[in-house]
Structure 1
Amino acid sequence: MAESGARRRLLLVSTNYAPEHAGIGPYATQIAEHWAANGDEVHVLAGMPHYPAWRLDPEYARVWRTEERRAGVSVHRRKHLVPPRQSAVTRALFEATVLGHGLLAPPAMDRPDAVIAQMPSLGGGLVGARIARRHGVPYIPVVQDLMGAAAAQSGIRGGGRAASAAGAVEAYALKRATLVGVIHESFVAKVAAMGVPEERIRLVPNWSHVKRPSRPREEMRARLGWRPNQTVLLHSGNMGLKQGLEVLVEAARLDPALRVVLMGDGNQREHLRSLAGGLPNLEFAPPADDDAFPDMLAAADALAVTQRASVLDMSIPSKLTSYFAAGRPVVASVAAEGGTAQEVERSEAGIVVPPEDPRALLDVVRALADDPGRADALGARGPEYVDAHLSREAGLARIDALLAEALGAPRETPPEDGEAREPGTAGGTGEIEGAVGK
């Protein structure tokens, strides 16, 4: 084990990594670059860039193995299947190729001091556990989502059988961990039910990783072609099965005066476009670049987060902290008992409506449009919540504390301002859309 203050050699296993800009990728990247900036020797075992479009980046089309140097981090990429359509079989093949190539060609590096793995990638989690075991070093998975629960609730063919198999693999990997980080308290009971003692589970919420808006809203709306008096409801991020974005298509159909913008990519994009049938008030926008993204969010009148009714308590979408930072009210069409609803209500920055109910969603959007003062007040609470609980500094400090404890340091006391909380208490948020059907 590295001595306190000594340069550590760390391996982070994360299928998703920069240049991916959504989901797990930004968090894995910021963690690795943070450690490298602090003087550690950092290696990342990653997949090929493909998310959220679920299309392989053309630059990597003929690449099987490569090593890159990014911001002081050695990134070891391994080829894997990128299925354009999600099913239990294709997801299993995806994970199998991540696992197989990771075990056959682990990073060429000296013995690490610790191995950290971002889950829900089952293949990545198993690779991390095997490498840590081979070197006799701490293994620390960070649970961004639970694949077993996701498979059970995804609605894809074979989901029940996939859930059983995925749950068994998850339990195998998590029970071998020195400590387990979870991004939301709603994961604690599920991880404990897999056989992980609760005293080995630590809450490490994600953080807001985007800049604050910098352009005037009116200027950005004019650039985007949005009329000043037009109500704009925007959804950003992955267009996958579990998002249930059909609710937004139907909301646009019910109210021709409402402009609904679906910004992003994903394997359901063409299905949604076909379902819309050319609705003039439904816009499909490509993912915004990092500089324009915060301003585009802030230009909307309301920001939508949606999940199917069956998606409960096992996923916190990656867009949520970005929405909070944008300063616009959030309309969450999600299950009231789930972690997403908990975060929206805890922040007091939005309103929760029943999932897959376009009329309920539309009623809230109309009410906010009719009461701009209320909309602005809700939106203003988002940045306040980010400043109080979701800063990058606080999030990285939690990850640092998790790693230090796994390496033998005494457990740190959570800060008094509530930025780190014990499992089972209120607070924090997670960001991930990494489940089956994403």
Structure 2
Amino acid sequence: MSQRDSSIRRSDELERPEVCLLSLHYPPEPTGNAPYSGSLAAGLAAGGYQVTALVAHPHYPEWKIYDGYGGWRRDEDRDGVQVQRRLHYVPQPPRGVRRLVSELSFGTRTVGARWGTPDVVIALSPALFSTAMAVVRLRFGRRRPPLIVWVQDIYSLGLAETGQGGGFVQKVTRLVEKRTFTAADRVVVIHQRFADFATKELGIPQEKIDVVRNWTHLPPSDPVDAETAKVKLGWPTDAFLAVHSGNMGAKQGLENIVDAARLADERNAPVRFILVGEGSERRRLEEYAQGVSRLTFVDPLDDQDFRLALSAADVLIVNEKPGVSAMAVPSKLTSYFDAARPVVAATDPGGITASEVEAADAGTVVPAGEAFALLEAVLAMSADVEAATRYGQNGRLHREKFLDEGQAIANWQRIIDEVRNAPSRNALAE
């Protein structure tokens, strides 16, 4: 390479904005926040940004470091992103103080790592407490690149709605959340209700908040009919399949599905429930489901079989614990809508999940924790093929119109460029 060519390449690299992404979760984790952190990083890299992702070793939703990973530090190139993995404490079970220590250990690793010279830092919450530690580093560091906090869950709402932690813990968490959001140059949330909460309850100025919806991260694929998908997976073809996929944690309240399957046994109903995935509550759920014949647990699937599982479903279920209504937007909904299958949502009728399903006209909503109502909704869907087909098609249209990955990445590029080029930021730098 000539000296001129070398200097041109260095010049091109200098012109590319540098982004540092801090995220506890990252691919190959298949569910939760990881698909979004990974696709954002890859999308920015494809758009000409230099992206470094400082992340943990994959461990979710099993809460166990995946085979082939581990070690104090591991660096890799993934989809054009420089991925730096750091070992942190993975709790078993991931509750209470153990969960907090896990976040703090990841925060310690990220604060002590070399971030390079990013033009913008993006910190994903959860994990809230490691994000708060990043705020402290930025505040007292020599360089102070702008910070964007990307909010996937509202911690303080989560503690209140799931009944975890006492009043003191909830107050401390709310204070940390408020100060972390306040310290950020921009706060990106995934739903308008999150934006409203941040403004009204945490006092974050509305002009500091952007709403960027989570998108369907699954690559385009040709549709597969349900019967073909069932045969390929070895699933029953003589019953109506109601499938729930994703994390099996506290906020999902999946005892409700076990109870619905038990009722189906008692009534000899022509339906089978399938729970696909892993999580902190799976072992307890399996014990609770002993003797229930119309319920099957399936381990996490790779991308190809996951698509088949969604296609094999006659109806897809989203289930939430009673009281959970505003803390999070289930990431599974984007994949559910993409699959063009009808949805039954067992959740708070006034919550975010219900509003999403109703806005898409993609299925029906029943109250959380009412197993009889869940079973009745599934059986009603099996009896009305026309309605089920219409709901599935509506969900797919909603995904195409509102949950497009390309549009979401473009919004992120706009926000990053606005933050790094803000006049007040430039004046401070001078």
TM over 0.5: yes
CA distance in 1, matches of 2:309, 2:407: 26
Query: Do structure 1's residue 406 and structure 2's residue 419 form an aligned pair?
Result: yes
Partner residue in 2 for 1:148: 156
1:89 aligns with 2:97: yes
Indicate the residue corresponding to 1:122 in structure 2.
128
Q: Which residue of 2 aligns with 1:418?
A: none
Matched, 1:49 2:58: yes
User: 1:80 maps to what in 2?
Assistant: 88
The 5 Å alignment of 1:347-386 reads 347-386=360-399
User: In the alignment, does 2:332 pair up with 1:325?
Assistant: no
What residue in structure 2 maps to residue 204 of structure 1? Answer: 212
- Give SS of 1:137's match: coil
What do residues 148-170 of structure 1 show as CA deviations (whole Å, max 9, x unaligned)? 221222234x3543322222211
Query: How far 1:6 moved relative to its partner?
Result: 2.8
- Pairwise CA distance, 1:123: 3.1
Amino acid at match of 1:270: R
The residue type equivalent to 2:87 in the other structure is K
Instruction: Please say if residues 88 and 159 of structure 1, whose CA atoms lie closer than 8 Å, have aligned partners that are also in contact.
Output: no
Matched-pair contact (CA < 8 Å) for 2:24–2:126: no
Provide the aligned C-alpha RMSD in A. Answer: 1.9
Equivalent of residue 119 in structure 2, options 107, 110, 113: 113
Written as runs of structure 1 = structure 2, the 5 A alignment for 1:25-424 is: 25-61=34-70, 63-103=71-111, 105-109=112-116, 111-133=117-139, 134=141, 135-156=143-164, 158-192=165-199, 193-211=201-219, 212=221, 214-256=223-265, 257-408=270-421
Q: Take 1:160 and 1:317, find their aligned partners in 2: how far apart are those partners?
A: 26
Deviation at 1:44, TM superposition (A): 0.9
Contact 2:22–2:110 (8 Å) recurs in 1: no
Q: Which amino acid aligns with 1:119?
A: S
Q: Comparing 190-199 with 339-348, which one deviates more in the overlay?
A: 190-199
How many pairs align? 404
**What SS is found at the alignment partner of 2:416?**
helix
Structure with higher Rg: it is: 2
User: Residues 374 and 10 of structure 1: is their aligned pair in 2 closer, same or farther, counting only changes over 3 Å?
Assistant: same
Q: How big is each residue's C-alpha offset from its partner over 1:331-358, in whole Å with a ceiling of 9 and x where there is no partner?
A: 0001111111111000001111100001
Structure with the bigger RCO (C-alpha within 8 Å, sep 6+) is 1
Letter in 2 for 1:385: H
Aligned partner of 1:416 in structure 2 is none
Shift of 1:222: 1.9
Amino acid at match of 2:84: H
Q: Percent identity?
A: 37
Counterpart of 2:49, as a letter, is D
2: CA distance between counterparts of 1:225 and 1:112? 49
TM-score, length-scaled by structure 1: 0.88
Residue 427 of structure 2: aligned partner: none
CA shift at 1:247, angstroms?
Answer: 0.6
Give 1:30's aligned amino acid: S
Q: 1:229 to 1:120 in 2, by over 3 A?
A: same
Which amino acid in structure 2 is aligned with residue 89 of structure 1? V
Post-superposition Cα deviations, 1:187-229, rounded to whole Å, max 9, x if no partner, equal: 1122122231111111111101113453332111123344434
CA distance in 2, matches of 1:326, 1:127: 39
Question: Deviation at 1:386?
Answer: 0.8
Query: 1:131 deviation in Å?
Result: 4.4
d(CA) in 2 for partners of 1:195 and 1:76?
Answer: 34
Between structures 1 and 2, the one with greater helix share: 2
Q: Secondary structure at the match of 2:198?
A: helix
Structure 2 Cα separation of the partners of residues 336 and 195 of structure 1: 27
Kept after mapping to 1: 8 A contact 2:233/2:308? no
Helix, strand or coil: the match of 1:254?
A: helix
Q: Which moved more, 1:374-383 or 1:130-139?
A: 130-139
Deviation at 1:118, TM superposition (A): 0.9
* Matching of residues 11-30 of structure 1 within 5 Å: 11-30=20-39
